């Protein structure tokens, strides 16, 4: 299994994530996108292989999937929110699934998601269930393990503008099996999220519309 880490301006944090992930995978791949700091240098110094993409979380994932086709992959954020120590738990669940989601809502403890964001996630979860019949509580979690089949599927076509619940609908349409395991996450340790700056209601609306379009394709 390989680790895939999209990173934008995470210079103070990415090296720690790379070092913590390394014992659990064969190699760590960091995709830098739109960086204006030393993220790339820090990732390389920590032992990661570095790829580059155009700015954007979805574009970074798309580049990673195309390069890592044929491999099992675990993807996690570079901000320290996703615990690399949970990688074995996600990897073992791939025995019965193509996509394993690390869910902060199935595990006790961890940081409390702000109420407005939690409401948005709950709404997207309900919408995704309505569209597909899949019951995933943490539908927006970016901490995921993917089978070689799933990586190959996304390498052939991945939405480069928005990667959220719409991706799970696309996976469902392709017959990929999605499941969820509990993971205790922490609040990001600083910096600015790649998802920051988007009004929560607007983002939820965009994702809901994209998921509906995927369902109708």
Q: Is 98 exposed, middle or buried (0-12, 13-18, 19+ CB in 10 A)?
A: buried
Number of DSSP helices (H) and strands (E) in the chain, helices first: 8, 7
DSSP-derived secondary structure letter, 112: P
Q: What is the pLDDT of residue 194?
A: 43
Of 38, 7, 17, nearest to 186 by C-alpha is: 17
Per-residue model confidence as pLDDT tens digits over 123-150: 999 999 999 998 999 999 999 999 999 9
Judge whether 187 and 81 are in contact, CB under 8 Å.
yes
Summarize pLDDT for 14-37 with one digit per residue, the tens: 999 999 999 999 999 999 999 999
Give every CB contact of residue 7 below 8 A, 6+ residues apart in sequence. Answer: 14, 30, 31, 32, 33, 35, 39, 43, 60, 78
Domains of the chain: 2-216 (3.90.550.10)
Q: How do the pLDDT tens digits run along the chain, 217 residues long?
A: 999 999 999 999 999 999 999 999 999 999 999 999 999 999 999 999 999 999 999 999 999 999 999 999 999 999 999 999 999 999 999 999 999 999 988 877 766 777 888 888 899 999 999 999 989 999 999 999 999 999 999 999 898 888 899 999 999 999 999 999 999 987 655 555 444 434 567 878 889 998 898 888 7
Whole-model pTM: value is 0.89
d(CA 108, CA 30): 29
């Amino acid at each position: 299994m390989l680790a895939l880490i999209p990173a934008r301006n995470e210079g103070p944090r990415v090296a720690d994530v790379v070092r913590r992930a390394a014992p659990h995978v064969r190699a760590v791949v960091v995709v830098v996108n739109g960086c204006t700091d030393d993220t790339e240098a820090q990732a390389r110094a920590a032992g990661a292989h570095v790829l580059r993409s155009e700015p954007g979380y979805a574009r970074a994932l798309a580049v990673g999937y195309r390069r890592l086709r044929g491999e099992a992959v675990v993807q996690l954020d570079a901000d320290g929110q996703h615990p690399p120590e949970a990688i074995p738990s996600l990897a073992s669940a791939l025995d019965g699934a193509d996509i394993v989601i690390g869910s902060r809502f199935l595990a006790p403890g961890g940081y409390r998601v702000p109420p407005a964001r939690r409401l948005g996630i709950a709404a997207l979860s309900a919408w995704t269930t309505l569209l597909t019949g899949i019951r995933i509580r943490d539908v927006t979690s970016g901490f995921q393990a993917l089978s070689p089949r799933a990586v190959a599927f996304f390498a052939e076509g991945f939405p480069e503008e928005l990667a959220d619940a719409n991706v799970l609908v696309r996976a469902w349409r392709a017959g990929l099996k999605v499941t969820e395991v509990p993971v205790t996450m922490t609040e990001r340790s600083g910096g600015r999220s790649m998802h920051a700056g988007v009004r929560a209601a607007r983002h939820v609306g965009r994702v809901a519309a994209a998921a509906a379009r995927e369902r109708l394709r």
